[in-house]
Every structure is written in structure tokens, then in C-alpha cells.
Amino acid sequence: MAINDHDSVIVLDFGAQYSQLIARRVRECGVYSQIVPYTISAEEVRKIAPKGIIFSGGPCSVPAEGSPRPDKDIFALGIPVLGICYGLQVMTEVLGGHVSSSGKKEYGLQNIDISDRTSELLADISDKSQVWMSHGDSVSALAPGFRVTASTPTCPFTVAEDRERKFYGVQFHPEVVHSVEGMKMIRSFVIDICKAEADWNMGSFVDDAVEEIRKIVGDKIVLCGLSGGVDSSVAAALIHKAIGDQLVCVFVNNGMLRKNEAESVIELFGKTFNMRLQYADAEKDFLEALKGVTEPEAKRKIIGKLFVDTFYREARKCGDVSFLAQGTLYPDVIESKSPSGGPSSTIKSHHNVGGLPEDLKWQLLEPLKELFKDEVRELGKELGLPDELVYRHPFPGPGLGVRCIGEVTKERLDTLRDIDAIFIEEIRKAGLYDKIWQALADLLPVKSVGVQGDERTYREVCTLRAVTSEDAMTADWYHMPYDVLQRTALRICNEVKGVNRVLYDVTSKPPATIEWE
């Protein structure tokens, strides 16, 4: 059964920052959801045949000239609609109601008063339930057929419904955690009102994806650039489950990997999963290319170009390749939409292997392109990948090359590998790893005087960094317990030759970035 055979609820995106979160909440109900542009036509919606439609919020003002509008014929399809914030307002305006600028914006928590206990949308919601408001305009006159079912002291039309046509609107954001019972409302809409079957899960996705991969690939060869990161590893495991030895993985060791990482990748994928693995030890090539280079962007470009060249060289050894597999995720697809609204079919720089020669004539195979990051991790577990890989922190493509501040040398990389290994080991032992979005160590091109044993030393300084985040757009420094920092610093100074001082970075993003380079 393919994805198109599952019940679905689509999200019409009006430019909201929470559109992806809405889709994820629907999927948490066990129902497949995809995001489509608000410009989608009613005919295109009819072909998708969703069980329900959700209009997202958005930054625009409905009364403003040129503000986004959906195709009015969507309302004639007989499909239930839920409008959230801007979605409620634009639905009201299109269907004959009125929206006005309130004169002041309303952000923050409110408690709703439910006036109609027969509402199916609010059936399981407590009176005075807390919701998150974020709007400037407000509905001032309901469209014909609608009635109010809940309000707040500052917003008389907080929830409005046209039950006959199954149109619903809320002037708050049920998808965010601040709306305490918001998930109940989304579930009521998706399951009770739309009557969608909750059969979307990782088990069914694996079955669907394996069937689809076999159908697309046939007897051809698929090439996958395996980095040891979450996305490429899960993609490789899924494709291997579908086509076995028709998959060839290329693993390039650029010398910038973490301690023992190359050995771990070879052991897991080459031996445990018994995949065809083309291993390229290119450490010397990368170190030679980086000799004397200290500028961060120059280092990134050198590492990126040499990686592509090395990957291409190894790919030519893999026979007659027809497909290039990549761990593209759903947010990548959304962000790389073409002007016509469809996903781009060319190899983009956000993919795992960008910049390959255009004359390769490989077709892209992107088996994760329907999934969000948390779903990819869940899929990895379903496929039997170890927790240490599935839940690993983000790691930059150029690897330790961007954490070795200043010139990159074999000696400095080895020093940084040891520092990094001790730091990660200590936060794991303390049970903190899964509470942290990203933990990293940087080696600084700065030396300081120290006393180690009976002698004075003049060695480099390292800095440790750990942050919490939801999406890496913003991040706060993690308030690491002092005893963990103390143990880590003591071990680094005792066990790592070349370092005699350990710092901890307490800068948030912004103003800093998560990585130093």
C-alpha cells in the first residue's frame, strides 16, 4: 500500500512559522499529512482526495490588499476544513463574513469559555482551557452558517463552526504546546470529524517504502553517500532492506571524523548489515589541501569540493549506477519548492552530495522525503539501527575541520578527537546526552601557561559547548552541572596531551552561532 493509499489531511500553508508543526501533529494522530501551498487549486485538492484540510496561520493581514486567498472552490468539495488563526480569518472573509484590524495585537496565553457543549471539535476540552493567542486582526462578523462555540474576554469569536458543511475555525494555535489541550482538538478534527483512519505509522511506512523503492529501481544499481549521520544511515538501511546488494554505499573518510567513527561505520554497515561498502580513506588528501588554510569559509569550500571529487572518483568504481540515494527530509523538500509549487528534481546544495557533475544522468532516490526528523529517528529504530546512531547529535558536514579553529593538522585533529570523546562520554555517563540538542568541543589556536606535574607547560586551549534547541534556528546554552564540567576538564587535562586549559561556552544563538566556524 503506497502513501497515496492512506487517508490524509493536507495543510494549506499561508506562510505560517508553524505549518510543519501542524502537519506533525496530524501525523501524531496516526494520519498522514502533507503541506501544500495556499495557491493549490480545488481540482488539485480533489485529486489528492484528503479526508480533511487545515488552513495554517500566516503573517499577512486579511484586510490588506493582495493578502493570500485560497481557491474558493475548495469549499465546495465537501471536505471538512479547520482554519487556524489567519486560516479562520481568511475562511470567514472568503465565505462572506468580515475581518477587522483590532488596533492592537494579542500574543500570549488566554483561557477559553466554551458556550456550546455539543461542539464535536471541543467535545473533550475543559472549560477555561489554556490556549496560545498570536494575532492582530480579528473576526468581526461571522460568515453565514457559522456560530460561536467558544470565546475569550478579548476575542468574542475564538472558535466558530459551520457544522452542516463541517467548517471550523480557531483564533489560537492548537498545534503549539502552550495550548494545553490543543492536541485533543486536532485529534477531534482529524479522527472524529474527518473520519480519517489512523493507519500512518513507521511499520506501515516501511512496507510502503520498500514496495515503492523496488518498483522504482527495478534491477538497477543505487549509489548512496554514507556519512554515518542519521539521515544517510536511515536512508541506506531502508533501501538495503528493499533491494539488498543493488545498493552500493560510498563512505569517504575525510580525516575529520570523530574518534573511531570510521571503524564504527564499517563495522555496522559493512559487517552487521552486510552492505556493499566502498570505503575511501582520503585523510592525507584532505590534510594536504587544508595545509596553511585558516579562514573558516575557505576551509568549508575546500572540504566540500574535495569530498565531491573523492565521492565521484569512488562512484566510478561501483559499476553502472542509475540512482543516487540521498537522505533528503520533508522540510528540505518544502524549502526547495520550484516556482510552480512542485519539488525540485535537480540535485540541490542542501542534499547530502551537492555539486556533482551534471552529466552523470543519475536519478535521485529520496526515500525519506515524506518524513520529519523525529520520524526519521523512529524509522531508524524500526529498521534496527542502534540508539547511539539514531539519537546522535547533529554533526557538521566538514566534521571536526570546522571545530579545529585555525589551521587543520593531523596532530590538532587527533587532540580534538580525544577531547570530544571524553566530553561525549561524560555527558552520556551523567544521563544528559538526550537532554542536549548538540554538544561539541573546539580546539582554539591559543596557548596558555599551565602547571602539570612538576613542570610548567605552554599548550593549547579547548572550549566545550552544549546547547538546547527545537530546530537550531535559535539555541540556548545548556546549564551543565558543575560536577560534570569538573570531571570532564580534569580528564581532558590529564589524558589529552597538548591541552592544559578547558573553557565552557555560555553564549546563546543569537548572538553566536552553534558552531564556532
Say whether pLDDT at 191 is over 70.
yes
SS3 content of the chain, % helix, strand, coil (to 5): 35, 25, 40
Q: How far is residue 502's CA from residue 327's CA, in Å, rounded to a whole number?
A: 36
Share of the chain above pLDDT 90, in %: 75
Considering only CA atoms, which of 483, 485, 480, 473 is closest in space to residue 513?
473
pLDDT at 77 over 50: yes
Position 514 pLDDT exceeds 50: yes
Check residue 162 and give its pLDDT: 97
Please give the Cα distance from 268 to 226 (Å, whole number): 12
Interval 85-97: pLDDT, tens: 999 999 999 999 9
Grid coordinates representing 287 are 590534510
Instruction: Specify the DSSP class assigned to residue 142.
Output: P
Give the model's pLDDT for residue 349: 35
Does 438 score more than 70 pLDDT?
Answer: yes
Residue 505 vs residue 348, higher pLDDT: 505
pLDDT of residue 105: 66
Report yes or no: 242 and 213 within 8 Å, Cβ to Cβ: yes
Range of lowest pLDDT (107-116, 117-126, 218-227): 107-116
Cis bond upstream, residue 357 (ω within 30): no
SS3 329: coil
Bridge partners of 83, per DSSP, are 55, 169
Q: Please report, for residues 114, 176, 217, 301, 306, the alpha-carbon distance to residue 18 in angstroms, rounded to integers and kept in the order given.
A: 25, 8, 35, 33, 38
Phi, psi torsion values for 482, nearest 5 degrees? -60, -35
Spatial contact of 141 and 97, defined as CB atoms under 8 Å apart:
yes
d(CA 321, CA 311) in angstroms, rounded, equals 13
Give me 324's grid cell: 543516487
- Distance between CA atoms of residues 287 and 253, nearest Å: 12
> Which residues, 6+ apart, have CB-to-CB distance to 244 below 8 Å?
none
What DSSP assignment string belongs to 157-190?
Answer: EEEEEETTTTEEEESS-TTSTTSTTHHHHHHIII
Higher-scoring residue by pLDDT: 241, 178? 241
- CA-to-CA dists, residue 316 to 278, 303, 319, angstroms: 11, 20, 7
State which of 151-155, 330-334, 335-339, 485-489 shows the largest mean pLDDT: 485-489
pLDDT band at 102 (very low <50, low <70, confident <90, very high): low
Instruction: Count how many Cα atoms sit within 13 Å of the Cα of residue 445 in the half-sphere of its side chain.
Output: 14
Task: With a cut of 80, say whether residue 207 has pLDDT above it.
Answer: yes
C-alpha cell at 325: 540515494
Residues 354-377, mean pLDDT to the nearest whole number? 82
Dump pLDDT digits (tens) for 240-290: 999 999 999 999 999 999 999 999 999 999 999 999 999 999 999 999 999
Q: Mean pLDDT of all residues in the chain?
A: 90
| Residue 475 vs residue 40, higher pLDDT | 40
pLDDT at 2: 54
Kindly tell me the sign of the dihedral angle through the C-alpha atoms of 348, 305, 259, 450.
negative
pLDDT of residue 372: 85
pLDDT at 339 over 50: no
**Which is it for the CA torsion 299, 305, 306, 307, positive or negative?**
positive
Of 302, 423, 315, the C-alpha closest to 361 is 315
Collapsed DSSP state (helix, strand, coil) of residue 456: strand
Q: What is the pLDDT of residue 370?
A: 85
Reply yes or no on whether the pLDDT at 1 is more than 50: no
Lowest average pLDDT, out of 68-77, 248-257, 343-352, 385-394, goes to 343-352
In percent, the amount of the chain with pLDDT more than 70 equals 93
Kindly indicate the confidence band of residue 346, based on its pLDDT and cuts at 50, 70 and 90: very low
CA distance 139 to 129: 21
Among 91-100, 328-337, 507-516, name the one with the lowest average pLDDT: 328-337
Is the per-residue pLDDT at 348 higher than 80?
no
**How far is Cα 355 from Cα 310, in angstroms, rounded to an integer?**
12
Name the grid cell of 362: 543519475
Catalytic positions are 85, 173, 175
Indicate whether 332 pLDDT > 90: no
Is a pLDDT exceeding 50 seen at residue 340?
Answer: no
How many residues appear in the chain? 517
